[in-house]
Amino acid sequence: MDARTQEFLEYVQAGGQVETDDWMPDEYRARLVKFIEMHGNSELMGVLPERDWILRAPTLQRKLALTAKIQDEVGHCQLIYRVVEDLGKPRERCLDDLLSGKSKFHNVFHYPTKSWGDVGVIAWLVDAAAIISQKALLKCSYAPYARVMKKVCWEESFHILHGRDTVLAMVTGTPAQFELVQEALNRWWTPLMHFHGTPIPAEEDPMFVWRIKSQANEDARQQFLDGYVPQIRELGLEIPDPKLRKDEETGVWEYTEPDWDELMSVVTGHGPASEERLAFRRLSRNEVDWVAKVVLAEAA
C-alpha cells in the first residue's frame, strides 16, 4: 500500500469523511460504487414484491399506504443512483448491469410473496433489518452517501410501523388470518437471518476497513434479534428455529447456522423469483423507453 493510500485509510479509520471531489484510492471508489449501486438496485427491485399487492390490498387505506411506500423506495433508488453517478458510473449503466445480472440486489427481493401475510412480514421485519443497516450507514466515511441516508431513514420510519400494524390487524383477526402471518414468518425467517450477511469479523471485512460500513454483519444481526424476537414472540407467533435463544450471561443470541451457500446462490440470481423479477424490470424499462426519448427530445 502506498503512502497516500495508507494516509487515506488512517483518515477514514479515525472517523474522517470524504467528499466527491476529494482524492480517493481506486479500491475505495470501486467498493463504494459496487456497494451503493447494489443498495440502489435493491430499492428498485424491492418495490416489485409490493407492487404485486397494490391491486390486492384488503382496504383502501392499505392500498394508499403501500403505494406511498413504493413511491418512497423508487425515490430512494434515484437518490442513491445519483450518488453512484457522481462517483463515475452513469444511471443507465447501473440499469444495464442490473438487468443483465452483472450487478446484484438484496437477497430478500429474490423470493416470491404468497399472501398478504408476506406483505406484513416484509414491511415489518425486512424493513426493520434494512433500517438497522441503513442507520449504520449514517456514519459512512463517504459523506454524500451518509447525507442521502438521512433522508432515506427519515422516510422509512413509517414503513416499519405500517408493517407492524398490518401484522397486528391479522394476528388479532380470525385464526385463518393469524395462520397467514405464521406461514409468512416461516417462509421469511431464513432470508431474514441471511439479510446481514455472513458473520465475517469486522477487521476482515473490507467494507468495515474502509469505514463504508460502521458495524460488523453479526452485530447488525444481533441488534435485529434483540429488537424484534421479543416483539414477534409477544404476538404468540413461533419463530421456526428451535435453537434460537439468548444467552443471558453473554447477552448473545444463539441460532441455527443459516445455509450461507443458499444466500450466495440467491444473490447471484438463482433465487426462486430472481428471473421473474428481472424479466418484469426489463419489460417496464422497454415499455417506458419512448417516454424518456420523447421528453428529452422535446427539451433539447
13, 78, 100, 268: residue in contact with other proteins (rule CB under 8 A): 78
- Stretch of 101-109, 130-138, 144-152, 271-279 contacting other proteins, by CB under 8 A: 144-152
- Kindly state the number of chain residues that form the binding site for other proteins, as judged by CB under 8 A: 19
Does 249 interact with other proteins (rule: CB under 8 A)? no
Q: Is 93 in the site for other proteins (CB under 8 A)?
A: no
Q: What's the N-to-C CA distance of the chain in angstroms? A: 47
Residue 216 contacts residue 200 (beta carbons within 8 Å): yes
**82, 93, 246, 285: which one contacts other proteins (CB under 8 A)?**
82
Q: Return contacts of 47-50, CB within 8 angstroms, 24+ apart.
A: 47/73, 47/74, 48/109, 48/277, 48/280, 48/281, 49/109, 49/111, 49/112, 49/113, 49/118, 49/119, 49/122, 49/273, 49/277, 50/119, 50/122, 50/123
Q: Report, in Å, the least distance between residue 95 CB and other proteins.
A: 13
For residue 252, the SS3 value is: strand
Q: Closest CB to other proteins among 46 and 117?
A: 46
The three-state secondary structure class of 188 is: helix
Q: How far is the CB of 200 from other proteins (least distance, A)?
A: 32
| φ and ψ at residue 20, rounded to 5 degrees | -55, -45
Per-residue burial over 185-213, b if 16 or more Cβ lie within 10 Å, else e, is bebbbbbbbbbbbeeeeeeebebbbbbbb
Neighbours of 216 (CB within 10 A): 21
**CB 51 → other proteins: shortest distance, Å?**
18
Is residue 285 classed as helix, strand or coil in its secondary structure?
helix
State yes or no: residue 23 binds other proteins (CB under 8 A). Answer: no
Question: What 3-state class would DSSP assign to 53?
Answer: coil
Binding to other proteins, residues 177-206 (CB under 8 A): none
CB of 162 to other proteins, least distance (A): 14
**Does 291 contact other proteins by CB under 8 A?**
no
When binding is defined by CB under 8 A, the residue of 55, 176, 291, 299 that contacts other proteins is 299
Closer to other proteins by Cβ: residue 68 or 169: 68
CA distance 227 to 221: 10
Query: Segment contacting other proteins (CB under 8 A): 51-59, 145-153, 184-192, 232-240?
Result: 145-153
Beta bridge partners of 254: 245
Distance of CA 10 to the CA centre of its chain: 29
The answer to the question of residue 155 lying near other proteins (CB under 8 A) is yes
Compute the least distance from the CB of residue 91 to other proteins, in Å.
7
Smallest separation (angstroms) from other proteins to the CB of 155: 8
Contact status, residue 117 vs residue 124, Cβ threshold 8 Å: no
Distance (Å, rounded) from C-alpha 111 to C-alpha 105? 12
Please give the Cα distance from 189 to 186 (Å, whole number).
6
Q: Please, which residue, 56 or 151, has the CB nearer to other proteins?
A: 151
Closest to other proteins by CB, 287 vs 298, is 298
Q: How far is the CB of 22 from other proteins (least distance, A)?
A: 9
31 binds other proteins per the rule CB under 8 A:
no
Closer residue to other proteins in complex, CB, 61/71: 71
Does residue 285 bind other proteins (CB under 8 A)?
A: no
List residues near other proteins by CB under 8 A.
21, 71, 75, 78-79, 82, 85, 91, 147-148, 151, 154-155, 295-300
